[in-house]
DNA sequence: TGACCGGAAATGGTCTGAGGACTTACGCTT
DNA sequence: AAGCGTAAGTCCTCAGACCATTTCCGGTCA
């Protein structure tokens, strides 16, 4: 087995076996090199790999540690790769977001958090009174993020956050020909979601969220250039 | 900015800017070092980070390339980290799987693939006639995987595969006191899903899949030790 | 006694140089 | 034209040295 792969497998084994639990500290690098039988360069490349995946954290001058190993923080590392996915793949991801966020929105409506509706209402007031693309994106993320958090599953929140962050790069809301129509449709979608949450109607909330995100998918799909036929 | 972070940002920028598209080849390491202004060690650590995330691939003797950048292959890299998540977090992930797989199962039922039902039926025949834990796990994965594939969204399939792979480590099906009862319940759940697909009933398929996975969640939850109170 | 501070030790971060291993492509031979 | 061997290109691994940051401990001062 290659040196870096050997180190990678060894480090993962130390965690998987329970020898090192969440937030535990690894031995110093020279000691790990000896234990794993690889050079320091190879060990460090293996550590970097696991750090990129959110499994390990290196702190300069302090040591190398196992991360908290909670799904939400691991999933959030995904944004580094998801942000590079081309539009074609983003459409597949948006279907995931639609399904998950619809579920989370229904859960939020069922939970009856007394402060949620007021908080969402304030966000929408500000969202409807701005035309700045960056602020729209920020407030939209705040609205959907607050709902997902209220849904009670941090993993779902993390996943939808990552996907929303990728979609946001396409800037549907740049001022242009259809800006007013798109903004109006989007605002109405948000109000429908809020209304369902206010009336504690999970089914309506799920439908409204699903429809709202499906609308986003349609707008993004319109940006996709037609696939080029293979010319001989 | 730290050297490795500088290299990481530079590499991502080369992809994000469109300078290098999917499957494109990077310049040789020495050239990249010069371009990014870092040493080879730092460059290689940055490359390893992105390779761990499925964004780039290094081929010994050939070169370093941008990956295909499709969501499914990027998500599958997640298994390296998800497999290390403790049980507590797996329960959150299983809720994600339940929602996504329920959606995919409904889509599979609606699609009316003529060969799907026969393929699934054959898998279930073999699954119901074995008591080997490894084979049960393999056939269960084949059953659910075939359904998700038929759902038409490879991203959903990849996500559910990763989560199912993690849950499988807990080996609910080890022969033991409740083995027969658990196996019987599981087999019935599978038959209910297949029945809904055979009758082209998306709503029933979604419900059956959701119930089946929720049952798995209950079994796993039973394995969870009670949280220890903090002692002074 | 307590807080503050300085330095030493521990630890990860970076750079350089060398040689090895694998892939690819080219030119030669048959 | 096909097969083969060699050479060039490229990534992989190792070793050693030095730098940057954190942490801890002992001394100092109020």
Q: How many CB atoms lie within 10 A of CB B129?
A: 9
pLDDT in tens, A9-32: 999 999 999 999 999 999 999 999
Helix axes A87-111 and A154-168, enclosed angle (nearest 10): 140
Residues in chain A closer than 8 A to B71 (CB atoms): 82, 85, 89-90, 92-93
pLDDT in the model for residue A219:
86
Question: Cβ contacts of residue B91 below 8 Å, gap of 6+?
Answer: B217, B220, B221, B224
pLDDT in the model for residue B177:
62
pLDDT in tens, A121-155: 999 999 999 988 889 999 999 999 999 999 999 99
Which of B46, B80, B89 has its CB closest to that of A69? B89
Helix axes A154-168 and A133-151, enclosed angle (nearest 10): 160
Strands (E), chain B: 56-59, 63-66
Compare all CA atoms of chain A with the CA of B66 and give the residue at the minimum distance: A84
Q: Provide the positions of strand C that have an atom within 7 A of a protein CB.
A: 10-18, 21-24
Give the whole-number percent of chain A exceeding pLDDT 70: 92
DSSP-derived pairing of the beta strands A56-59 and B56-59: unpaired
Backbone angles phi, psi at A130, to 5 degrees: -125, 155
C-alpha distances in angstroms, A129 versus A135, A144, A179, A180?
10, 18, 14, 12
CA distance B82 to B76: 10
Helix, coil or strand: residue B68? coil
Q: How many CB atoms lie within 10 A of CB A50?
A: 26
Q: Within 34-63 of chain B, which residues have Cβ less than 7 Å from strand C?
A: 38-42, 45, 59-62
H or E segment at B107? helix B87-111
CA distance B40 to B47: 10
CB contact under 8 A, A96 and B15: no
Question: Which nucleotide lies closest to B59 by the C1' atom and the CA atom?
Answer: D11
Sign of torsion over alpha carbons A129, A132, A136, A139: negative
Here the tokens at position B34 are 């010069």
Compare all CA atoms of chain A with the CA of B53 and give the residue at the minimum distance: A81
User: Are B224 and B88 a contacting pair, CB within 8 Å?
Assistant: yes
CA distance A113 to A91: 32
Query: Would you write out chain B's pLDDT as a tens digit for each of its 232 residues?
Result: 899 999 999 999 999 999 999 999 999 999 999 999 999 999 999 999 999 999 999 999 999 999 999 999 999 999 999 999 998 899 999 999 999 999 999 999 999 888 999 999 999 999 999 988 889 999 999 999 999 999 999 999 999 999 999 876 666 666 566 778 888 999 999 999 999 999 999 999 999 999 999 999 998 888 766 444 443 2
User: Are B61 and A88 a contacting pair, CB within 8 Å?
Assistant: no
Helix, coil or strand: residue B172? coil
Answer whether any strand D atom is within 7 A of the Cβ of A5: yes
Residues of A with CB under 8 A from a CB of B: 4, 12, 15-16, 22, 41, 44-46, 48-55, 69-72, 74, 77-78, 80-86, 89-90, 92-93, 95-96, 99-100, 103, 153-156, 159
C-alpha distances in angstroms, B160 versus B78, B94, B112, B222?
11, 9, 21, 22
Q: Which residue is closest to D16 in terms of CA–C1' distance?
A: A40
pLDDT in the model for residue A231:
34
DSSP string, chain A: --HHHHHHHHHHHHHHTSSS-TTPBPPPHHHHHHHHT--HHHHHHHHHHHHHTTSEEEETTTEEEE----HHHHHHTTHHHHTT--HHHHHHHHHHHHHHHHHHHHHHHHHT-TTHHHHHHHHHHHHHT---HHHHHHHHHHHHHHHHHHHT-HHHHHHHHHHHHHHHTT-TTSSSTTHHHHHHHHHHHHHHHHHHHHTT-HHHHHHHHHHHHHHHHHHHHHHSPPPPPPP-
Q: How many CB atoms lie within 10 A of CB B209?
A: 31
pLDDT in the model for residue B169:
65
Query: What is the pTM assigned to this prediction?
Result: 0.91
Separation of B69 CA and D30 C1' (Å): 64
CB contact under 8 A, B99 and A95: no
Q: Which of B38, B53, B57 to mutate to test the interface with A (most CBs of A within 10 A)?
A: B53
User: Are B150 and B108 a contacting pair, CB within 8 Å?
Assistant: yes
Q: Within 55-84 of chain A, which residues have Cβ less than 7 Å from strand D?
A: 59-62
CA distance A8 to A36: 9
CA distance B44 to B30: 11
Backbone angles phi, psi at A44, to 5 degrees: -65, -35
């Amino acid at each position: 087995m290659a040196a870096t792969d050997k180190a990678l497998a060894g480090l993962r084994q130390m965690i998987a076996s329970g020898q090192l639990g969440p937030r535990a500290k690894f031995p110093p690098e020279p000691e790990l090199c000896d234990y794993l039988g690889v050079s320091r360069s190879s060990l460090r490349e293996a550590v970097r790999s696991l750090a990129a995946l959110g499994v390990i954290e290196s702190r300069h001058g302090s040591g190398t540690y196992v991360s908290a190993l909670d799904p939400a923080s691991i999933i959030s590392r995904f944004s580094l790769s998801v942000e590079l996915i081309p539009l074609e793949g983003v459409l597949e991801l948006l279907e995931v977001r639609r399904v998950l966020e619809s579920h989370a929105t229904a859960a939020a409506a069922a939970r009856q958090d007394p402060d949620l509706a007021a908080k969402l209402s304030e966000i929408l007031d500000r969202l409807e009174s701005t035309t700045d693309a960056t602020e729209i994106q920020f407030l939209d993320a705040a609205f959907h993020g607050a709902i997902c958090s209220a849904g009670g599953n941090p993993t779902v929140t993390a996943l939808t956050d990552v996907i929303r962050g990728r979609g946001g790069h396409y800037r549907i809301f740049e001022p242009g020909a259809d800006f007013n129509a798109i903004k109006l449709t989007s605002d109405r979608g948000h109000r429908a979601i809020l209304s369902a949450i206010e009336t504690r109607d999970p089914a309506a909330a799920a439908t409204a969220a699903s429809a709202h995100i499906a609308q986003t998918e349609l707008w993004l799909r319109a940006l996709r250039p037609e696939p080029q036929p293979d010319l001989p």
